[in-house]
Amino acid sequence: MGDNNMYFEDLGEDSSDMDLADLEEFNVGEEKNVTNDGGVKKKVLKKGQGYKRPEKGDKVFVHYVGTLLDGTKFDSSRDKGDPFTFELKAGRVIKGWDEGVATMTKGELCVLTCEPQYAYGDRGFPPTIPANATLQFEVELLSWESTKDITGDGGIIKTVVEEGKSWEQPKDKDEVTVEYKIFHNKEEVASSPQGGIEFVAGDEANSDCVIPAFSKCVTTMKKGEVAKLSIQSPEYGFGEAGLAGKVPPGAKIKAELTLVSWKSVKMVEETIEMKLLVEQEGYQKPNEGSSVKVDLVGKLEDGTVVEEKAGFEFVTDDEQVIRGLDKVVMEMKKDEKVLAKIPPEHAYGSSGGLDGKVPADATLVYEVTLKEFVNAKESFEMDAKEMMEAALKFKDKGNSYFKKGDYEVAIQKYEKAVKYLEHDSKYTEDEKSAAKKVKIACWNNEAQCGLKRKDYAGAKKRCDKVLKVDSQNIKGLYRRAQSYIGTKDYLEASTDLKNALLIDPGCREAKLEMKRLLKLQADKNKKDKKLYANMFSKISFSDHKAEPAKETEEEGEGGCQKGCCGGQEEGERAEEENAGDACQAECCSHP
């Protein structure tokens, strides 16, 4: 490469006034503005390859021929025989170049016309370029090297020397395969074996990645990408230990890194680790209720095989297999192969299973290949009858999980049931009425699950949905009152319970909840009274030798005389009122 030409050195900071993302397509032979003010124009002579353009900080390689408007040539890299290189948008060249080259693709040939404010202005560049001259440059973008500060502190500078394929990049926890060479003082000190090495991306402390820089960089790379790394901070290299006999302690090093491939790892249901061994194209995956066929091998963590099946068929989300296996299969595409690590809460739990082969609280590792699947109908494919049947099926599943105490999954099933009934344009009036009842039942059941989980805000939200469509629903009022009690909003809870008892004065559970509420309120009042009495006592002792504090205590001895605070008299009265008939409404305490 030739040295930077004298015309293009240190000409000021980047002054871009145009968002390159908004640039329209430049067609061959058509001249268009590059900048908003028209100070830089571009005419494409030959299209480049692809759509990628160099970015700020990239090292670009170009050939150019510079002329005045009368055709006088003042400079040419072609005449010198070497391409010209510079750092884009770093103020190393005239502003017109920073703007124009940033719009080019690899291999593109164009003419950039730069008005004086984007060239040499009123000073010119004597003797070849007069003041206030508009210049034209025939520019060919040969290539560029993308340079990034990976760590943000200059510790690792990465330069892409060969672009990778596609747009995907590995994520933290993915298992990557790389090839590498490491250099110190231009001498190779380490390299990967044939076929490369494997390590977990993002796990810098793991020695499998050789040096921390590799683990940090791979998540910025694409498959097949080759990058040069300048590792300035020892912590990202061999550290203070160095490499025996080859790299001294605390030394800066360089490396060449190639991302060969990776196996994607993702978390399903937060705790199931799923590693993709064989990937397939497409996007279709089994849904809930799909008929699937799989090959599988299940093992304990020590490698003991506990289950092995070929061509095994089951229906997803139908409790025919452990829940973890259900969830994994619904994340797969046809002919994909995965390795899934399933914790006990998604396997056989504390009881164990498979006729004693799986001990209690065992984590299982399944290798699964999805051979075939047929998806269940989606709601938009169903008629009204089918949607109602599907909704009732998921409601029943929710009830089943509720009885097992798995409230989180129960909520998911109730929500799925409601989704089938959200769009009722296909329904008759009778069908709409039936759908409304099912939705109300599901929302009420979701609220009960929320109460069991002490998710009072979630429970209230579900009750609000119920009461929006049926303001007289006793379950909705009762459970919302319980939600308010959970958040210590006693006034709102009292209102809901009173409304429930107005609708059904004989509702035993609402009466019992009112009694509990009054006791809670009375206890709170006593605590508040004691708190404020102590507070006033301290103030009075300081200002009036404790006399007002004594008065405060005397005033409080009789309790609230109006019965508005849920004190002793009100509580006794409520206890008498609570005797009566059992609740006439549907049971309020369970689905």
Q: Which residues are known catalytic residues?
A: 64, 74-75, 94, 120, 137
Tokens of 31: 């001249």
What is the rounded CA–CA span in Å between residue 455 and residue 155? 46
Give the tokens for residue 3. Answer: 């040295």
In degrees rounded to 5, what are phi and psi of residue 523?
Answer: -60, -40
Q: How many CA atoms lie within 13 A of 113 on its CB side?
A: 14
**What is the distance between the alpha carbons of residues 426 and 423, in angstroms, rounded to a whole number?**
8
Q: CB of 418 within 8 A of CB of 399?
A: no
443 touches 395 (CB < 8 A): no
Identify whether the C-beta of residue 166 lies closer than 8 Å to the C-beta of residue 152. Answer: no
Q: Prior bond to 116 cis, omega within 30? A: no
Number of H helices, E strands in the chain: 13, 19
Distance CA 258, CA 252 (A): 20
The encoded tokens of residue 512 equal 């019992």
In whole angstroms, what is the distance from residue 263 CA to residue 285 CA?
19
Q: What is the token pair recorded at 336? A: 């994909």
Report the distance separating Cα 20 and Cα 22, nearest Å. 5
As a whole number of angstroms, the distance between CA 584 and CA 507 comes to 6
Strand, coil or helix: 283? coil
Q: Which two tokens stand for residue 117?
A: 């404010």
Residue 401, SS3 per DSSP: helix
Instruction: Name the residue type at position 65.
Output: V
Distance of alpha carbon 579 from alpha carbon 526, whole angstroms:
26
Distance CA 500, CA 494 (A): 10
Tell me the backbone φ, ψ of residue 557, rounded to 5 degrees: -65, -35
The first and second tokens of residue 356, run together, are: 């004693």
Task: State residue 80 phi and psi, 5-degree precision.
Answer: -85, -15
User: Who contacts 188 (Cβ-Cβ below 8 Å, separation ≥6)?
Assistant: 181, 182
Integer angstrom CA distances of residue 180 from 142, 144, 195, 229: 26, 22, 10, 10
Find, among 18, 4, 6, 2, the residue nearest to 120 by Cα. 6
Beta bridge partners of 177: 198, 261
Give the separation between CA 250 and CA 76, rounded to whole angstroms. Answer: 45
